[in-house]
Structures are given as structure tokens and as C-alpha cells.
Structure 1
Amino acid sequence: MSHYRSDRTHSQFLLFDVFGVDRAYGVEPYEDFDPETAAEILEQVEAFAHDKLADSFPSADVHPIRLDPVRHTVTLPRDLRASLAAHVASDWLRLDLPADVSGIHVPASLRWAATEFILGANPAVAMCSQLIPTVVAMLHRNGNKEQQRLAELILERNWTVTMVLTEPDAGSDVGLGRTRAALADDGNWHLTGTKRFITWAAHDAAENVIHCVLARPQGVEGQGGPGTKGLSLFMVPSQLFDPETGELLGPNGVVAANIEHKMGILGTPTCELVLGGREPAVGTLLGDTHDGIRQMFEIITYVRMMVGLKTVSALSSGHLNARDYAMSRKQGRELISLTGARGGKPLVEIVDHPDIRRSLLTQKAYAEGGRALVLYTATMIDRFEVAKALGGNDPVAVERHRLLLPIVKTWCAESGWRVLGQEALQVFGGSGYLRDYPLEQYVRDTKIDAIYEGTTGIQSLDLFERRLVRDRGAIAGLLLDEIAQTVDDLATGALATESVLLGDALAAFRGILEHTFAQADAAPRVAALGLTRLLMSMGDVIVGWLLLRTAAAALARQSDPSLLKTADADLAGSVAAGRWFARQVLPHLTAELVAARLLDEEPLLLPDASL
């Protein structure tokens, strides 16, 4: 059996029972879509992920990727190469493509539910292949006829793509990038510079790699200046090609000079790229000059959602692996007293021990809560697409999606990695520290999720500055009001206790938000000390809300809502996860409010050497 444990049942329950996404099926733009088709897609993508992708996940961690320093070629392990080729050649990438680019136009919520299976089975493959539809769509929207043809060639010839932003001295501060682009006589551009940390920049699973490179155009009046506004986006292939047929014409002047030696995701070749070293690195400008950051953010928006889901998929699989292990591993005797000896009692599976049950339920709540957060955010895209198809707009859905994106990326990444290491791996004891089980690889592979595509600190600043400050929390307030309505709706039912706890947590978060607004006006650097707390607290409240909505939907499906143990273990588990999170996580928000109010200048005034 492979490492991967998927949970299609919970995904479908969220989509149809909790969020009711099927209400949009049968109307534009999903007029030919129905729940049966959606369920079939999820089932088939799940099977594909297990059959074609999962087995190469551990082998790619053991068998290293190789760089030939003379020819600058990168060789993948055989199993990984086969998995990547299988996914790139499959029809499943069409789920993420618009209909006018040979895509299967399905709701975003379904696309993301299906993407979880790919990410969970083999995140290394997904980080390459799942980027292809987004870049193809971007080329189709922003490109000239030749670049739109490039979009077609990427699909026809199974080429892969990359995002090329980071430089040795321009990491999170992309505006410090110094890679230059000079206009050539033939209308192409020649790029010169060094890029770093470029995922899937070179490999032998495709004949060509199309690099999306941020660079500064030279010799263009008013352009090429400092900061992000001076950046433009260029399409730079690893192999030059005939623009009509795609026939390869020879290497371009872009080479992989080095492969990074990383803590995790060892199945992804992360390269240093040198452009224009010996030969010109020929590229084409996408759209207008100085529009590069806007264009690149069409990709970044997708990738940030994918990163959050990547952690969720690992945590979910980690939890289910831990549960399987706990149900089979016998150690210790049944605990019936905390004061007496337990000799003579029979050995029990460790799942019977209270602390293991606490750990498993904690893992379950965070995994299912993270999945709910991702899919709820995706339903905002569904809402917008339906409104657009009907000739209207849904500004609330658009703005809520923008609001939730940094929370999806950061809350899932931070919480998921912590719970994987602190809880899921711990269930295995010493065995979890070995490569015999997948948890140690999950922990190594997910740490990066809180770092790339915007670190936790940067995402927290982005949430506050660009999502909350600009409208003084108005968009967030609408969401918080919906949470308050759920508190009222659940006040008299089986989740009455939990509704009170959600209400208390909501009040505490409102207090944190109000205090941060006031502090930002009076002492912005002090306020910045608490922005990560703000984001994580907001994530806790939203996830707690979504878990209780899920619990309420599960109770509605049960014949006897007052009973915890029912014939349907999945429904009982959803109820328990919602209750557990409300009772064991949400009360911490009250303490977070106290801590937020105690922030002062001391950390800012300390000498650096005192930190």
C-alpha cells in the first residue's frame, strides 16, 4: 500500500452538504454539470493519484536528482519522471483550463477538491504540472497571437512551465531584482541575470520548459527603473522552437547552474538559473512593459491557494496514517485509574489510550478544518463565475476571496506543519522518526509551505495592509457578521455549548482587530509585532465556524442527533471534530486578546544582540 491516504468522502460532504455547491449546477456557466458528474470526477482523479503518482513520492525522496555540471542537464529518478509525464499527458489538467483553451469548465470548488488528491499523492509532481493550466490561461488572456500559439504548444507537446522571480539579492523583496532585458533587432528580448530557487527549472521529463521571467527592460523610456513597477514579464524557453509547429531549434541561453540541497521536497529540482551567460537568453515580452507584477500575480494567486492545500493534503494523509497505525499497534494496558497499577490487564491498541485519542482528534479537526477553509474560499470563485455568466457581478465574493487567500496560505501552512510534527508523527513514537513511515517526509516537505510564495510575516502584513486597512475591515466585517449569525442559529440545538464558545472567540477576535487598528495609527511598528497573531486568530475563528457548520450538517444527517456513536463513523467524526475544535482551540482566542493588548515597544528598543 502506498503512503497516501485520501478522504474523498469528507470533500464531497463539504461540497454538497455543507456548502451546497450543486445549487449552481445546471445553470450558466455550469449548465451541463450535475452532482453525479462531479462525484465521478473526484473518484477518477483520486484513483489516478493513487495509481500513477503516489508510489514515486517516497522513491524520489531517496533517489537524488542529478545535475550534469558540464551540459547543465537535470536527470530525474525514473519513477518520478514517469509520474510527472503521466500527469502532464493526462486529461485531468484540463479541469483547470478555460473552455476556450480545450478545458473542461468545472466549478472552482470541484477543481480544488480534485487538486488535493494530486497534491497529497505527490506534491513534487503537482508543483510542476498544476502550474501549467494557470500559465496557459495567462498567456491566452494577455498574450499576442504568437504567445497564444505558445499556450497551445505547451498543451500539445506536454511542455512544462516555471515561475522565475527570486534572485540572490532579491528574495521576498522582489523589487530588488536586477535581471535585465534588452530589445533585439528582431523584436525579441535578450535577458541577462541570475535567478535562484526556481522550482522545476530543468528536468528530463519534458522536451522544453517555458520560464515566466520577471526582468527589467532596458532602453525603453520610463521603464526599467527600481522597484516592482519597473519589472516586466518575459516568456523564455529552455529550447528555442518554431513558433508555429513547436519543432525544437536548439538550446536557448538559459542554463541550470546549480541544484539546491534542501530539507524537503527533494523530488523537485530547485535550480539556480543563469540567463545570457554565454549565449543570449531569448524571450518575448508578455503584454506591455512594466506590467510584469500584475501578470505574475495571476500565477501567484493560484499558487498561494495551492500551497495552503498542499499542507492540508499532507496533514490529512498524515492523520489517516497515524490513525491506521494507532488501531494496529499494541502497547500498554487499558487505563482505568490514574492512581493504581495496571498489571495483568491485556495489551491494547494504542488508539485506546486517552492521549492518542486526543492527538488523533486534534489532527482530524485541523485537517478537516483546513480542507473546509480551502473549499469555502473556492466557492467564492464559483459565485463570481455564476454572476458573470448571468451578466452581473458579485463584488462580495471577489473581495472575500482576496481576504481569505493569505489566511488559506498561511493558516494552513503554519497549523498543518505544527500538527504534523507535534501530533501525527508523535503517534508513531520512535517509528515516526524513521523512513519506514511517511510522516518524517511529510514534516520535511511541508515546512517550506510557510516560507515560499510569501512568508508568514509577509502574508500577515499583506492581510492587514491590503485587505483590512484599506476598507477599515468592512469586507471582513461582513464575514464576521455571518459567523455571528451562525452563533445565533446554533444557540438552541445540540451545538449550543459550541455556539457560545464560537461567539466568545469571535468577540475576542473583534477585540484583537480593533486594538490592532488603533495601535496601527498610534504605533505602527508595535502593531506589526502582532500581525501574525491577527492572521492566525482570524484563521482559527473562520475554521471553527466552518467546522461547526460541518458538524451541524452532519447532525442533520444523523437519525438521532443526541447520540455521538452512530452507524456512520464519518458523520460522528465530523460532529466530534467541530466540538473538539470549539472546546479545545477557540478558548485560546481570549488569551490572544490579552496578549495583543500587552504588546509594547520593548522588542523594538532592545539592542540586536539582546534578541
Structure 2
Amino acid sequence: MSHYKSHLRDLEFNLFEVLGRARAYGRGPFAGTTPETARDILAAVERLAVHELADSAVEADRNPPMYDRAERTVTLPEAFKKAYARWTDSGWHLLDLPESLGGAGVPPSLRWAVAELVLGANPALYMYQSTAGFAKILDRLGTPGQRGLARLLVERGWGATMVLTEPEAGSDVGACRTRAVPQPDGTWHIEGVKRFITSGEHDLAENILHFVLARPEGAGPGTKGLSLFLVPKYRPADLTGEPGPRNGVFATALEDKMGLKASATCELVFGAGEPAVGMLLGERHDGIRQMFHIIEQARMIIGTKSMATLSSAYRNALAYAKSRTQGADLTALADKSAPRVPILRHPDMRRSLLLQKGYAEGLRALVLHTAAVQDRIAEAEAAGTRDDAAHALNDLLLPIVKGYGSERACEQLGHALQTLGGAGYTQDFPMEQYIRDTRIDTLYEGTTAIQGMDLFFRKIARDQGGALSALLDEVRATAAGTPEDGTLAHAHTLLARAADHLQAMATGLGGHLLASLEDPQAAYQVGRGTTRLLMAAGDVLLAWLLLRQAGVATRLLADPATAGSGAQRSFYRGKVATAAFFAAEVLPLVAAQREIADRDDAVLMTLDEDAW
């Protein structure tokens, strides 16, 4: 039986009943994707994910990829290769490519809904199938000749990687030492060592195209001196893309990791012994800006992965809690003859599970809300314009999707493990693998602290709080509404207060940042508060999105034509209860976070290092 418990009903609820995607699908740039087509795609991908992709994720964890030192190659287990072939043969991985590259040009919101199903079933498989994302970037940023390379990437099913991190530099991208030496024929020879490269070497594709950040010979220091280069594993022999001679890039190590073992994380060496021949991406030395196109896509992938894993974990934990009988009902604690009840009847278990549900469904709402913003961006681009507000909002949301989403997923996975007790610590259940496989999400594409700094410095301070204020106006508008279900009134009040606290936190950090222009020590007050701001922002947004869902559910329940019966009514009642409970349990804590952020600290940066 598959480890993966999907939630197609909630995906469709978000897309069509809350976000109103039926009004966008089937017209404009999304004319080829009707609401009916979208539902058919989701149903087909769900069947494939649950029944054909999920099992190999477990198999590859038990029997992970193998590294051959002599050949410097990585071999994946046969079951995983079979699942990968099944997925790529289906063609679903190319859905969001433009028609010019052989795709269907589906809306971003549908693309990320599909991504959830695959990432929940087999996250490593999704990471290997990076073809579409890299092809779109190459098609957008490349020269005319490189756009032809993008078509080869798709047609021949090549792998692709983001090659950024170096052993000594870590997250300090500006410290990059990998260098690029220009050649008379216009190519470049890349020389250096990169580490922690996802999908850096494997046998799933005939070729791998590496997108490598390097410093051209003679370029200045820091990030401004970096450029992005395309370095194939095999140099194409001709215009058909047939693999030619082996290029001078080799995997010199396969990382031995805590989890996500099916994903080959490699150390790559460029130009040791023989040249690693590459070409400059596009016509400009603009590497860091170009790399951010890849990083932002990766952040959405990681946030979606975390959410998808948490959702499956919660649904596994819920199934266990319904069937596992232990202890008497708390009201009959003194009665030794009282019947044993399912552990779902115990108050603290219900508290834990309802919070797991809130975070899992709230994070799904956050991912799809962000994806709907990306729909707006795509619609504007198709019309030949630019939606500046949508771009700013998307930029603001991405570190929250990735940083907050991965942290809360890891936290709640721990609670899901508690639901199963000792059984969850064994390989009889998927929980232990979920925990190991998700822990990396807080580190991918920048740790949580880096996401917090990105949120404040690049997305709030640089924007002078414009996007955040606009978003909080939406939150306050929901909070100011009169809920049709009276049980939600207190939740609305809590949301309004929490929004004010969040705004005050951001304003306070902005004040410290301004003060640092005259007193550099004030920057420390900002530095210790940015992660706290990130987590508070996520809590407020999840509560808001859950309350929006509850409002929709309340209206649908009130109308006999839409309320349905049985499972449908239970689904909607669950939405209302989850939103009310989440607001009551989580939002009061935002005030405490603000109080801590506002406190002037005299210890943290003054304590002598010998005293630690």
C-alpha cells in the first residue's frame, strides 16, 4: 500500500472554490486549460503519483544511489528508474512549458498543484525532472542558439542542475572561487569545485546540463563579478544533441546524507585534468540576477515539497489515530472497566492533529495563493504588460513559502510522529522517512535565517514596506468582515490584532535599520529579529487563508444547492473548525513574538566568546 495519502479534494477546493481559478482557466493565455481539463489532469496525476511513483521513493531510501569511484558515475536503483521513466513518458512534467517548447502552457497555479502530488509521492523524482524549469529559463535568458539548446533539453529529456555552492563559501555566494577563462573560439573553460549539487550525476538521462556560477578571469570581487555558464556533461556532437565527447566535469563524491537519499547530491569538479568547456548564458555577465530565476523556482519547489510531505504525514497520523485503541475516555478515567477508545478521542491528541491539519492545509493554501499571484504575472506578460504589484507580492511571499513552510512542516512532522508513538519510529510507517527527507528543506536554497533576512532586507526594507502593507490590507479586510458563522467572530478579532502586531514588528525592525546609519550596533537588533518576523508573518498569513476558506465553506454550507451531504458537509465543517481552532491556538502568540522583537537586547552581541 502506498505511503502517500494525497488530498485532491483540498487541492480542488483551493483552486476553484476559494481562488476562483475557473474564471481564469480557459481564456487568455490559459485558453487551452479549461477547468474541466485541469480537474482531469489532477485526477490522472494523482493516480500515477499514488500507485506508480510513491513506492520507489521508499525503495530508493532503503537502497540508495551508488557511486563508482573509478568511473565517477552514479547509478540509481532499477525501481526508481522505472518510476522516473513512467513519469517522464506520461508527459505531465512538461505541462507548464510554452507550446513553442512542446508544452501545454498551463497556468502556474495548476503547475504547482500537480507538483504537490508528485513531490508528496516521490520528492527526489520531481527534483531529477527539472527539465521544464531550466528549459524555460534558458528560453527566456539565452541567445537564439541557446534557445535551440532549450528545445534539445526537452526533446531529449536531459537533466539539468543549479551549480552554486562551494566548499568554503557556503551561502556567501560572493566568495565564489570557481573561475571562467575565455577561449579564442568564444567558449569558456570552467575551473573549480562545487558541493551539494542536487542531481549532479545520475543515469536517468543521456546528458546533464549544468548551470554554473563562476567568476570570469579579471572580473571584480563579490556577486557583481559573477556570471552564469552552461556546462554539459557531454558536449553535443551535432545540432541533434547527440552526445559527443565527455566534458571535463566529474562527480568526485556522492554525499552520505541524513535523508532524501534517492536524490544524488554530489561534489563536482570542473576542469581537473581536462577542460570543462562551457558557454556564457545569454549575452551579458549578469550571473547573480540570472541565478535568482533558478533560486526562486527552487524555493517554490521546496515549500511545496514540505507542505506535501506534511499533508501526507498528517493524513497517515489521522488514519492511525482513528484505528489505534488505547486508554479509556478521559471522562471515565476512574472507571477501570470502561471500554478502550481510539486515541483520536483523547483531547491532547485531537489538539495535536487539528493543528497538524491547520498547518498542512494552511501551507497548501499559501502555496496555491502564491501560485495564483504567478497566474496574474503570466496573464500580464501575455498581454505585453507588467503587473508590478503581483511581482512585488510574489517576491514577498517566496521566502515565507520556503522558509516558514519548511520550518513548520518539520515541527509538525514531529507531532505526527508523536501520534504514532514508538511505531512511528520504525520503518513500518512512513513517518521516520518523512522526517529525515524533510529536514533538508530548511537548508535548501538558504537556511531559514537567510530566508528571514531576505524577507526583511530585500522584500520589505528595499520596498519600503509597500508589498507587506498591501498584503496586510487584504488580511485586515478579511478580519473586518462579519462572518456568517458566529463561531468565527473571535477568530476575526484575533486576526486583526495579529496583523497589527506583525506590521508593528516590521516597522520596529525598520526603525532599527534606519538608526544603524548613525549607530552601526543597531543593525544587531535587526539581525536577531528577522527570523522571528518570518515566522510571525507565516502564522498570520496561514490564519488569514484558513479564515478565507472557512468563509467560503460557511456560505456553501448555508446553501442546500452546494452544501451536499455526508463527506461534502463534513469537509466544509472541518474547514470552519480548523480555522477557528488555528486562530485561537496560534494568533495570540504573535503578540509575544512582537514583544520579544521590540525588546532592546544588551547581552547577545556583547557576551565574550569565552563565556559561551
Relative to the length of structure 1, the TM-score reads 0.95
Query: Offset at 1:557?
Result: 1.2
Provide the secondary structure at the position in 2 that maps to 1:96.
Answer: coil
Corresponding letter in the other structure for 1:351: L
Query: Offset at 1:88?
Result: 3.1
**Equivalent-residue separation in structure 2 for 1:319 and 1:609 (angstroms):** 44
Q: Judge which range, 22-31 or 402-411, deviates more.
A: 22-31
Q: Which residue of 2 aligns with 1:21?
A: 21
Query: Offset at 1:212?
Result: 0.7
C-alpha contact (below 8 Å) 1:530/1:599 kept by paired residues: no
Residues 156-555 of structure 1: pairs in structure 2 closer than 5 A: 156-218=155-217, 224-337=219-332, 340-421=333-414, 423-490=415-482, 493-494=485-486, 495-522=488-515, 523-555=522-554
**Equivalent-residue separation in structure 2 for 1:85 and 1:225 (angstroms):** 44
Q: Which residue of 1 aligns with 2:519?
A: none
Query: Offset at 1:25?
Result: 2.4
Q: Does 1:581 align with 2:565?
A: no
C-alpha contact (below 8 Å) 1:24/1:386 kept by paired residues: no
**Equivalent-residue separation in structure 1 for 2:586 and 2:421 (angstroms):** 24
Counterparts in 2 of 1:259 and 1:32: CA distance versus 1, 3 Å = closer
C-alpha contact (below 8 Å) 1:178/1:216 kept by paired residues: yes
Provide the secondary structure at the position in 1 that maps to 2:184.
Answer: coil
Q: Does 1:94 align with 2:83?
A: no
Counterparts in 2 of 1:245 and 1:389: CA distance versus 1, 3 Å = closer
Q: Which residue of 2 aligns with 1:52?
A: 52
**Equivalent-residue separation in structure 2 for 1:64 and 1:380 (angstroms):** 38
**Equivalent-residue separation in structure 2 for 1:243 and 1:165 (angstroms):** 28
**Equivalent-residue separation in structure 2 for 1:193 and 1:462 (angstroms):** 28
C-alpha contact (below 8 Å) 1:163/1:212 kept by paired residues: yes
**Equivalent-residue separation in structure 1 for 2:68 and 2:26 (angstroms):** 53
Query: Offset at 1:296?
Result: 1.3
Provide the secondary structure at the position in 2 that maps to 1:405.
Answer: helix
Aligned length: 603
**Equivalent-residue separation in structure 2 for 1:67 and 1:139 (angstroms):** 30
**Equivalent-residue separation in structure 2 for 1:236 and 1:387 (angstroms):** 33
Identity percentage of aligned residues = 48
Corresponding letter in the other structure for 1:607: D
Q: Judge which range, 299-308 or 223-232, deviates more.
A: 223-232
C-alpha contact (below 8 Å) 2:396/2:468 kept by paired residues: yes
Corresponding letter in the other structure for 1:460: G
Q: Which residue of 2 aligns with 1:602?
A: 603
Residues 317-373 of structure 1: per-residue CA shift (max 9 Å, x gap): 000000111111111112215xx5231111211111111111111100000000000
C-alpha contact (below 8 Å) 2:96/2:107 kept by paired residues: no
Corresponding letter in the other structure for 2:171: S
Provide the secondary structure at the position in 1 that maps to 2:274.
Answer: coil
Query: Offset at 1:205?
Result: 1.4
Residues 512-558 of structure 1: per-residue CA shift (max 9 Å, x gap): 12222222223111121011011110111111100000011111111
Residues 396-428 of structure 1: per-residue CA shift (max 9 Å, x gap): 11111111111111110011111101x111100
Q: Does 1:30 align with 2:30?
A: yes
C-alpha contact (below 8 Å) 1:491/1:500 kept by paired residues: no
Provide the secondary structure at the position in 2 that maps to 1:135.
Answer: helix
Provide the secondary structure at the position in 2 that maps to 1:226.
Answer: coil
Give unmatched runs, 5+ long, in structure 2: 516-521
**Equivalent-residue separation in structure 1 for 2:441 and 2:611 (angstroms):** 30
Counterparts in 2 of 1:599 and 1:126: CA distance versus 1, 3 Å = farther
Provide the secondary structure at the position in 2 that maps to 1:580.
Answer: helix
Provide the secondary structure at the position in 2 that maps to 1:428.
Answer: helix
Query: Offset at 1:242?
Result: 1.8
Q: Which residue of 2 aligns with 1:81?
A: 81
Residues 452-510 of structure 1: per-residue CA shift (max 9 Å, x gap): 10111111111111111123212211111111111111357432111011111112212
**Equivalent-residue separation in structure 2 for 1:601 and 1:520 (angstroms):** 17
**Equivalent-residue separation in structure 2 for 1:275 and 1:389 (angstroms):** 39
**Equivalent-residue separation in structure 2 for 1:199 and 1:264 (angstroms):** 13
Query: Offset at 1:152?
Result: 1.4
Counterparts in 2 of 1:327 and 1:459: CA distance versus 1, 3 Å = same
Q: Judge which range, 325-334 or 267-276, deviates more.
A: 325-334
Query: Offset at 1:560?
Result: 7.8
Provide the secondary structure at the position in 1 that maps to 2:70.
Answer: coil
**Equivalent-residue separation in structure 1 for 2:592 and 2:347 (angstroms):** 26
Query: Offset at 1:203?
Result: 0.9
Counterparts in 2 of 1:245 and 1:565: CA distance versus 1, 3 Å = closer
**Equivalent-residue separation in structure 2 for 1:224 and 1:132 (angstroms):** 31
Q: Which residue of 1 aligns with 2:518?
A: none
Relative to the length of structure 2, the TM-score reads 0.95
Query: Offset at 1:566?
Result: 7.8
**Equivalent-residue separation in structure 2 for 1:44 and 1:224 (angstroms):** 50
C-alpha contact (below 8 Å) 1:387/1:394 kept by paired residues: yes
Corresponding letter in the other structure for 2:294: I
Provide the secondary structure at the position in 1 that maps to 2:334.
Answer: coil
**Equivalent-residue separation in structure 2 for 1:356 and 1:560 (angstroms):** 33
Corresponding letter in the other structure for 2:412: V
C-alpha contact (below 8 Å) 1:149/1:243 kept by paired residues: no
Query: Offset at 1:206?
Result: 1.2
**Equivalent-residue separation in structure 2 for 1:250 and 1:89 (angstroms):** 27
Residues 14-41 of structure 1: per-residue CA shift (max 9 Å, x gap): 1111111111123311233321111111
Q: Which residue of 1 aligns with 2:140?
A: 141
**Equivalent-residue separation in structure 1 for 2:148 and 2:611 (angstroms):** 58
Corresponding letter in the other structure for 1:515: G
Query: Offset at 1:575?
Result: 1.2
C-alpha contact (below 8 Å) 1:566/1:572 kept by paired residues: no
Provide the secondary structure at the position in 2 that maps to 1:235.
Answer: strand
C-alpha contact (below 8 Å) 2:116/2:305 kept by paired residues: yes
Q: Judge which range, 402-411 or 589-598, deviates more.
A: 589-598
